[in-house]
Amino acid sequence: MGGSSTTAVSVRRPLFSTRKIVHMSMLIFAFLLPFLTWLQAAGCAVLALLFNVFILPHLGADFSKRPVAVGFGPAQLAGAPDLNPAHAALKGASTDSGATPSVWTGIVIYPLSVLALIVFYPNTLQVAGAVWAIMALGDGLASVAGEALRGPVLPWNKEKTWSGFIVFVMAGSGGAYTLVRWVGPSIPAEKAALVCLATALLGALVESAPIRLDDNLTVPLVCGAFMFCAFMMERSQLHSNLPYLGRRIWIAVGVNLVLALLALGMKTVDRSGAAMGFVVGVAVYMAWGYKSFLVMFAFFVLGSLGTRLGYAKKAARGVAEKRGGARSWREALANSLAGAFFAILVITTLHEKAFLIALVAAFAEAAGDTISSEIGQWISRRAYLITTLKPVPAGENGGISLGGTLAGILASALVVALAFGLGLIGKGGAAMALAAAFVGNLIDSVLGATLERRGLVTNGIVNFAGTSCAGAMALAVALHMGF
């Protein structure tokens, strides 16, 4: 008799698990938003958070994300929980009969994100309601579709499918539109539909990004900011700028094409970086012509110089940029996407001064972050972790040094001073932009010391977060002050 074979048996949960039902059904409370002040709504979100933290874990329900499987081999590939404790902590699986604390991460972050949406957008609760719908319906039904329909996987994330992506956009945009029209009925239907569709598409991209952060955190943060800005766009404002834009576009294309080819020839960027830089550069040029473009160009020049300075010494230490310092599309997008977005809003909203300040803050932060890293790695062998002040080698994620920090502040100040000299911003705007850039650099370092060091996000995500936070803070202050 030969050895007995082991048959893998996979037992999957229902498509609509307890977690998904709770996740989606909580959206019903969003329909109370028109009848509550933002303080009352925030209070309800706090109560939901306390309930999820202190009561829900004791109800005996299973809220883990992964399907349960029993067996070996193919069955575990089909959906069994990872029994490695380290992996389980990241994925939300359980290593014994009780769930690990990470199983509850999404259950806690969900009401926390709703609370953040209400606090961030107290005067535009339709944004909070719409993004809540994208979280609840888009994310919830996308996972159902992905498991039920499967099909081709996304090229940028093999764990996600096109069926789930499409359902996310459809369900998310439909739910968002319903909440926008319910909470903010004065918003035109056509505008609401376009903004909700664009936001849901962005949410699907964020949710499917190959990072390990909980999408209950990333989706509302990104989608909330995008939708808030998108609702400020006015078609009449774009039309009034068309005579200028028609002439400006040709100059923008010509200038950026020449500079992209020069940068490629000088090996400061690779082909993908040159292409992305061209696209971003055209967008920024369209905002305020050569003046807004020079702000971005100043960041590029400072960053390139910082990378080249002491490159041999940094390479010997193993902290120099790869490919001889040539930047790819990832670096170009991470450092310039926020600024390009603000550039578009400059010409499509009635708040061009506020968005110009945000644009300057974003590029000032990018310049400060790049220079502080490059100069710090060049002149300092040792840095200090920003969260604990523990000594770490120069170049360590989240590490800061006195020389690098001072150089970064100087770089940010140079970008802001250029914008002020060109007349893009006044003294008040310059102060806002510089302060926001400094805080954005601190946030960048904190994220590097926490999330990036744990492998939860990439350096590009951290850089994007830094520039976005700097621009968002400057924008919030500028709008509050009536710019």
Task: Work out the percent of the chain whose per-residue pLDDT is above 70.
Answer: 86
Identify whether residues 218 and 309 lie together within a single domain: no
The first and second tokens of residue 25, run together, are 């059904």
Contacts of 273 (CB under 8 A, 6+ apart): 263, 326, 327, 328, 329, 331, 332
Q: Count H helices and E strands in the chain, helices first.
A: 19, 5
Identify whether residues 68 and 206 lie together within a single domain: yes
Contacts of 19 (CB under 8 A, 6+ apart): 62, 63, 64, 65, 106, 107
Does residue 7 sit within a domain?
A: no
Query: Does residue 470 register a pLDDT over 70?
Result: yes
Q: CB count, 10 Å around CB of 53?
A: 14
pLDDT in the model for residue 13: 60
Each residue of 144-168: pLDDT tens digit? 888 888 889 999 999 899 999 999 9
Each residue of 428-441: pLDDT tens digit? 999 999 999 999 99
Identify whether residues 214 and 240 lie together within a single domain: no
The first and second tokens of residue 374, run together, are 């490059």
The first and second tokens of residue 148, run together, are 């039920």
pLDDT in the model for residue 347: 95
Which residue matches tokens 């944004």? 127
Identify whether residues 372 and 451 lie together within a single domain: yes
Residues 13-18 have a mean pLDDT of 69
Regarding predicted confidence, which is higher, 202 or 106?
202
Which residue matches tokens 């890293």? 373
Domain's final residue, options 202, 230, 258: 230
Domain's final residue, options 211, 230, 249: 230
pLDDT in the model for residue 12: 58
Each residue of 176-189: pLDDT tens digit? 999 999 999 999 99
Q: Where are the alpha helices (DSSP H) in 266-351?
A: 271-288, 290-308, 311-317, 329-346
Identify whether residues 73 and 120 lie together within a single domain: yes
Query: Does residue 91 register a pLDDT over 70?
Result: no
108, 41 in Cβ contact below 8 A?
Answer: no
Query: Does residue 88 register a pLDDT over 60?
Result: no
Average per-residue pLDDT in the chain? 86
Q: How confident is the model at residue 337 (pLDDT cuts 50, 70, 90)?
A: very high
Half-sphere exposure of 245 (CA within 13 A, CB side): 16
Cα 358-284-436 angle, rounded to 5 deg: 20
Identify whether residues 214 and 243 lie together within a single domain: no
405, 368 in Cβ contact below 8 A?
Answer: no
Does residue 218 sit within a domain?
A: yes
Residues 109-120 have a mean pLDDT of 96
Segment (H or E) for 391:
strand 391-393
Identify whether residues 37 and 55 lie together within a single domain: yes
d(CA 375, CA 373): 6
User: Which is it for the CA torsion 247, 248, 251, 253, positive or negative?
Assistant: negative
Identify whether residues 197 and 276 lie together within a single domain: no
pLDDT in the model for residue 327: 79
Lowest mean pLDDT segment, chosen from 106-120, 301-315, 374-388, 459-473: 301-315
430, 416 in Cβ contact below 8 A?
Answer: yes
Regarding predicted confidence, which is higher, 388 or 23?
388
392, 384 in Cβ contact below 8 A?
Answer: yes
Does residue 473 sit within a domain?
A: yes
pLDDT in the model for residue 150: 82
Q: Looking at residue 7, what DSSP letter applies?
A: P
Half-sphere exposure of 345 (CA within 13 A, CB side): 25
Q: How confident is the model at residue 104 (pLDDT cuts 50, 70, 90)?
A: low
Contacts of 455 (CB under 8 A, 6+ apart): 212
Half-sphere exposure of 122 (CA within 13 A, CB side): 9
Query: Does residue 83 register a pLDDT over 70?
Result: no
Tally of domains in the chain = 2
pLDDT in the model for residue 52: 85
Query: Does residue 87 register a pLDDT over 90?
Result: no
Regarding predicted confidence, which is higher, 69 or 101?
101
pLDDT in the model for residue 75: 33
Beta strands in 47-122 (DSSP E): none
d(CA 226, CA 468): 11
Q: 153 pairs with which residues across the strands?
A: 161
The first and second tokens of residue 248, run together, are 């400006």
Identify whether residues 219 and 250 lie together within a single domain: no
Cα 5-8-12 angle, rounded to 5 deg: 170
The first and second tokens of residue 163, run together, are 């069926």
Domain's final residue, options 230, 245, 277: 230
State the distance between the two ends of the chain, measured CA to CA, in whole angstroms.
85
Q: How confident is the model at residue 93 (pLDDT cuts 50, 70, 90)?
A: very low
d(CA 330, CA 427): 33
400, 430 in Cβ contact below 8 A?
Answer: no
Note the residue count of the chain: 483
Regarding predicted confidence, which is higher, 306 or 426?
426
Query: Does residue 319 register a pLDDT over 70?
Result: no
Query: Does residue 382 register a pLDDT over 90?
Result: no
d(CA 297, CA 440): 20
Contacts of 146 (CB under 8 A, 6+ apart): 160, 161, 163, 164, 167
174, 201 in Cβ contact below 8 A?
Answer: no
Identify whether residues 220 and 249 lie together within a single domain: no
d(CA 9, CA 471): 52
Does residue 3 sit within a domain?
A: no
Query: Does residue 65 register a pLDDT over 80?
Result: no
User: Residue 253 sits in which domain range?
Assistant: 235-480
pLDDT in the model for residue 383: 87
pLDDT in the model for residue 69: 35
Identify whether residues 387 and 245 lie together within a single domain: yes
Query: Does residue 82 register a pLDDT over 60?
Result: no
d(CA 252, CA 245): 10
Does residue 9 sit within a domain?
A: no
Does residue 220 sit within a domain?
A: yes
Identify whether residues 203 and 287 lie together within a single domain: no
Residues 299-306 have a mean pLDDT of 91
Q: How confident is the model at residue 58 (pLDDT cuts 50, 70, 90)?
A: confident
Q: How confident is the model at residue 124 (pLDDT cuts 50, 70, 90)?
A: very high
Query: Does residue 478 register a pLDDT over 90?
Result: yes
pLDDT in the model for residue 208: 92
Does residue 178 sit within a domain?
A: yes
Does residue 5 sit within a domain?
A: no
